[in-house]
Structure 1
Amino acid sequence: MNSNQRTSRLKFLLVILVFAAPIIGAALLNVSGWQPTGKAYGEPIAPQRNFEQEHIQIRLADGSNWAWRDASPRMTLVAMAGPDCAARCMDVLTKMAAARITLNNNMSRLRLLYVGQPPADTTSNGMQTYWELGSDAGNKLAAFRPDTPDSVSAVLVESDGTALARYPVGFDPSGLRKDLQKVIR
């Protein structure tokens, strides 16, 4: 074997090693049990719940029921206010609606649902422009509803009715916006 053949074979083996090294590394990490984690601002809901399968009925202002499964795949951001929704509550609701707007072309892939006693002046503050207003007919979402006055919590629901993440009282609306930008593309 001459030196040109040896050099060619060595180069070929190096090319194979360059492509095989990441695959081997990933396999070793997987065997060792390491899994990548991402930063999410919402708390995962465990055990997972499916609002469609649990037959959670939300009665809308017009008397119809909220459809957890939509004709097109759209996620739902469910907001629930504590007692006496006032200035702080409305500020958070406004920021949540703004988070939907920042999705730009994908904003139609997110529905906004407000469950509970609507804040005063919903017609004058423009809330009905962005939010569907409804009530929890069987009080099955009580575990997600805050007790703190003038506060808001939220639940992000997949298009099949599966609750993905919970945003408890005091959550960061900009963190919610970042989460929405990750999951709605």
Structure 2
Amino acid sequence: MITPTTSNQRTGRLKFLLVILIFAIPVIAAALLNLSGWQPNGKGYGEPIVPQRNFAQEQVQVRLADGKAWPWRDTSPRMTLIALAGPNCTTQCIDALTKMAAARITLNNNMSRLRLLYIGQLPANAATNGMENYWAIGSDPDGRLAAYRPTTPDSVSALLVESDGTALARYPVGFDPSGLRKDLQKVIH
């Protein structure tokens, strides 16, 4: 004959095992997926830079309009979005630059954690469209960033660089500005 305490013990043990199974099943499933080689893909919109480069360690020089060198390592941890203009930056190029600056603004309180650096020949109407209000203007005197510069007229590409100078992602000509904005919101929080 089963006494009430034995029945309660059996019920308690079954509940305890059920709780353990509830917590163990996701761990076991994750281990099996990992062993099978599957990894989650947190897809970004930019292309990863492979092999990875660190512009500070490589001493890539960018000269600003005032003659000073661009500091890859800033006094506070801030990322850099570099815009590299192709030849004859006009309508489409300026539109992409405007959307890039707007993506910075959408970061709200965190927009100070992103610096904007424009490298290339300034568009003819840069002064009238207020470009210098949002972008630091620079040049690449040694041509060390030439591989990332587009050759298509009226185009722009971009690089996202970590606060230590490590280039994270490349956004080639024709990139989606809303995708760039989403990537910025992921990495700058």
Tell me if TM exceeds 0.5. yes
State how many pairs are aligned. 185
**Matches of 2:141 and 2:77, distance apart in 1:** 24
Matches within 5 A, 1:111-150: 111-150=115-154
Q: Pick the aligned partner of 1:10 from 11, 14, 37.
A: 14
Q: 2:181: which partner in 1?
A: 177
Deviation for aligned residue 1:4: 1.1
Q: 1:75: which partner in 2?
A: 79
**Matches of 1:12 and 1:149, distance apart in 2:** 68
> What do the CA deviations read for 1:42-93 (whole angstroms, capped 9, x no partner)?
1111010111111100000111000111111111000011001111111110
2:177 is the counterpart of 1:156: no
Counterpart AA for 2:147: A
Q: Which moved more, 1:15-24 or 1:42-51?
A: 15-24
2:49 is the counterpart of 1:45: yes
Q: 1:95: which partner in 2?
A: 99
Counterpart AA for 2:177: P
Deviation for aligned residue 1:121: 2.3
Counterpart AA for 1:3: S
**Matches of 1:95 and 1:4, distance apart in 2:** 66
The SS at the match of 2:51 is coil
Q: 2:24: which partner in 1?
A: 20
**Matches of 1:54 and 1:89, distance apart in 2:** 29
State, as a whole percentage, how many aligned pairs show the same letter.
76
Deviation for aligned residue 1:110: 0.5
2:53 is the counterpart of 1:57: no
Deviation for aligned residue 1:19: 1.2
Larger radius of gyration: 2
**Matches of 1:58 and 1:115, distance apart in 2:** 8
Deviation for aligned residue 1:140: 0.3
Matches within 5 A, 1:27-38: 27-38=31-42
> What residue ranges of structure 2 are gaps of 5+ in the alignment?
none
Q: TM-score, normalised on structure 2?
A: 0.95
Deviation for aligned residue 1:39: 2.4
**Matches of 1:5 and 1:121, distance apart in 2:** 82
Runs of at least 4 residues off by over 3 Å: none
CA RMSD of aligned residues (A): 0.9
> What residue ranges of structure 1 are gaps of 5+ in the alignment?
none
**Matches of 1:4 and 1:175, distance apart in 2:** 57
Q: TM-score, normalised on structure 1?
A: 0.97
